[in-house]
């Protein structure tokens, strides 16, 4: 089991996400439950519903899910790399990624399927991480971060956006 990282294992941005995961939660179970909940939440939307943004200039529901996919892909890649070798990886600009994405032109069910498939693949990887590998670190966005912190940040980032979906998009 991947234990919760210590605060000295990550920088300020992941701290916000990691803090959303309780100390007594099994991170793999959290990721599995999120996969099922998020997939179901988005897969049942109509195209009209998925095109909704709560304000001018804010992301549509398709884009929010796309951002969750993009971020998970980046976090998982970092976890994979750092579990094998210490590297210095660049950050990513979520606004630039979204600007060049095609999420709004895609079918919401297709995006939901991509989310589920990506999460399943990442769960296989996360389950295979040894205790020793989970403690390995690398540099991402200018901050040292451990593999296990990236796993927790993945779940915390999704929880953060699920909270936004409830509060601002009225999506439950």
Q: CA-CA distance, 57 to 8, in Å (whole number)?
A: 36
CA gyration radius for the chain?
A: 16
Summarised one tens digit per residue, pLDDT across range 71-92 is 999 999 999 999 999 999 999 9
3-class SS of residue 106: coil
What pLDDT digit, counting tens, does each position of 86-134 carry?
999 999 999 999 999 999 999 999 999 999 999 999 999 999 999 999 9
Residues linked to residue 26 through DSSP beta bridges, in sequence order: none
Whether the model pTM is above 0.95: yes
Contact 42/108 with Cβ under 8 angstroms? yes
- What's the confidence (pLDDT) of residue 109? 98
CATH superfamily label, 7-168? dinb family like domain (1.20.120.450)
Extents of the domains making up the chain: 7-168
User: pLDDT at position 172, please?
Assistant: 81
SS3 144: strand
Q: Which two tokens stand for residue 25?
A: 């939660």
Are 148 and 135 spatial neighbours (Cβ–Cβ below 8 Å)?
yes
* Whole-number pLDDT of residue 1: 85
Can you give the pLDDT at residue 83? Answer: 98
């Amino acid at each position: 089991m991947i234990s919760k990282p210590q605060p000295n294992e990550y920088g300020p941005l992941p701290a916000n996400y990691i803090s959303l995961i309780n100390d007594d939660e099994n991170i793999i179970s959290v990721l599995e439950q999120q996969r099922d909940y998020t997939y179901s939440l988005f897969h049942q939307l109509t195209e009209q519903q998925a095109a909704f943004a709560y304000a001018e200039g804010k992301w549509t529901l398709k884009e929010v899910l796309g951002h969750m996919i993009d971020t998970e892909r980046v976090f998982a890649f970092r976890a994979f790399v750092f579990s094998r070798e210490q590297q210095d990886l660049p950050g990513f600009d979520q606004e630039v990624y979204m600007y060049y994405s095609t999420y709004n032109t895609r079918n919401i069910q297709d995006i939901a399927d991509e989310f589920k498939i990506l999460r399943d693949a990442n769960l296989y990887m996360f389950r295979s991480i040894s205790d020793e590998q989970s403690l390995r670190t690398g540099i991402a966005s200018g901050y040292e971060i451990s593999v296990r912190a990236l796993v927790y940040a993945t779940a915390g980032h999704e929880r953060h956006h699920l909270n936004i979906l409830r509060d601002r998009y009225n999506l439950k």
